[in-house]
Chains A and B, each alone.
Chain A
Amino acid sequence: MERLITKFMKLKLLASICLFLLAQLSLNAQEKGEKTSFTFKDTRIINGQSVETNQDGQLKFIISHRFGSINGGIDGFFGLDQATIRLGLDYGVWDWLTIGIGRSSFEKTVDGFLKARVLHQRENNGAPLSITILSSIATQTADFPEQERENYFSSRLFYTNQLMLSRKFSDRFSLQLMPTLVHRNLVETADVENDVVSIGAATRFQLTKTISFQTEYYYTLPNQLAEEYYNSLSLGFDIETKGHVFQLNVSNSQGMIEKFFIGETRGQWSEGDIYFGFNISRDFQLKGRKYK
């Protein structure tokens, strides 16, 4: 119990300090220069989120698919026979605040998040970078595998808090760093950490006017996860069409929310455990515009 309270207090203190500093930074940032746009093409990079938020009143419907591993061979049509899906709806309450919900077929997981952009990079010696905070909660809705014991709802909850720091260096290149804390209320053994600290890095290279290349890597600090879990590395292309962004990617992680790809990536690139997948998003403007 003492351990629980101490860890909890530390976590709260750390989070409060970070949020206070960010709020101060946001208030003091010089409001000059044009806001940079399209640091990333979409609100998702590959599996993880980007610093971008929805516009005021914008509803984004995101369909994400991840197929089985390609090393299954022709028997499983290189993974295309097995698919997991996440359906998501993100809504821009204001330009700087997005709320979203989603449901993944894997472990029948429902997730919800709040995403606040506290600082926007500006040109002409304005703010040098963009900062966005993500806070999400996820819960499994599949039946408990051990039905005979007393199970608690809290055991199925997972939390993620992430700080995204990004800079668009030029029209061709953007970089994002994302220190992340994933909390699992229940883990299997005392040797495994409930809190998992990971540091993500992502890049975007604009190849042509409509196509860009993304990389996304999450380095999880050692001695937090069981041995069978690995760091997540993903590569992808964004293809922008009118009203859509079509994202094609390969990854050693099959999950599409932080709980999965940070805490439960079982695949290894060196073993050919590579999953092909795609995200398609469609935008609808619900405020300030009437559809005919």
Chain B
Amino acid sequence: MKILSVLLLTLFLSSCYYDNEDELYPGNIPCDTAQVTYSIQVEPIISASCASASCHVLGGTGSGNFQNYSGVKSKVDNGSFMNRVIVQQNMPPNGDLSACEIEQLKVWLSNGAPNN
């Protein structure tokens, strides 16, 4: 019986793929990081992923109000935005930012997080 179960365990091994995004999606539209602005790229990302579902909104469960630029900027200035979103990537907690969105936020932060 033990041997049977041990063999069953090998079933879990049996559907492996060795894909990577570079090869699986060769025609991927390259991420546009040439000109990242708060109004065009950053604000929509924050509205959809941070200032929604009663998180980083007035009276929400998240710390700070991300519905306006100054609220976001205060978290940029104390380093927590960079730390949580870019470095640790544990915010948003469900991890739903795409690699391109993270890259755009990184560029915006490295430009000094302007309100443009």
Contact = CB atoms under 8 A, between A and B. Distances in A.
B1 to A, nearest CB: 8
A8 B5 contact: no
A118 B78 contact: no
Nearest to B102: A145
Contacts of B96: 142-143, 145
Contact of B22 (A23, A155, A190): A190
Contacts of A76: 63, 80
Interface residues of B, number: 45
Nearest to B29: A148
A161 B6 CA distance: 12
A228 B23 CA distance: 22
B90 A254 contact: yes
Contacts of B21: 186-189
A81 B9 contact: no
A84 B2 CA distance: 36
Interface in B8-22: 8-10, 12-22
B91 interface: yes
B28 interface: yes
A135 B16 contact: no
A86 interface: no
A96 B20 contact: no
Contacts of A107: 94-95
Interface string B69-87: 0000000001010011001
Nearest to A14: B13
A69 interface: yes
A149 to B, nearest CB: 6
Given A108-B94, A142-B96, A145-B98, A116 B22 contact: no
Given A3-B18, A26-B2, A190-B20, A137 B12 contact: yes
A159 interface: yes
A11 interface: yes
A246 to B, nearest CB: 24
B97 to A, nearest CB: 7
Classify the interface of chain A: helix, strand, loop or mixed. Answer: mixed
Contact of A15 (B13, B78, B89, B99): B13
A273 interface: yes
B10 to A, nearest CB: 6
A16 interface: yes
Contacts of B23: 190
Nearest to B89: A266
Contacts of A116: 2, 5-6, 9
Interface string B20-33: 11111100100000
Contacts of B34: none
A259 interface: no
Interface string A152-167: 0011010101000000
Interface string B34-64: 0000000000000000000000000001110
The 9 lowest CB-CB distance pairs between A and B, nearest first, are A145-B98, A135-B9, A185-B17, A135-B12, A107-B95, A186-B19, A4-B18, A194-B18, A266-B88
Given A188-B99, A254-B90, 7 more contacts: A116-B6, A135-B13, A145-B97, A161-B9, A189-B22, A192-B20, A266-B87
Interface of B: 1-3, 5-10, 12-25, 28, 61-63, 78, 80, 83-84, 87-91, 93-101
29 contacts: A8-B16, A11-B13, A12-B10, A19-B6, A19-B9, A23-B3, A69-B88, A72-B83, A76-B63, A76-B80, A94-B1, A107-B95, A114-B5, A116-B2, A116-B5, A116-B9, A135-B10, A136-B12, A142-B95, A142-B96, A145-B96, A146-B98, A157-B15, A185-B18, A186-B19, A190-B22, A194-B16, A194-B17, A266-B90
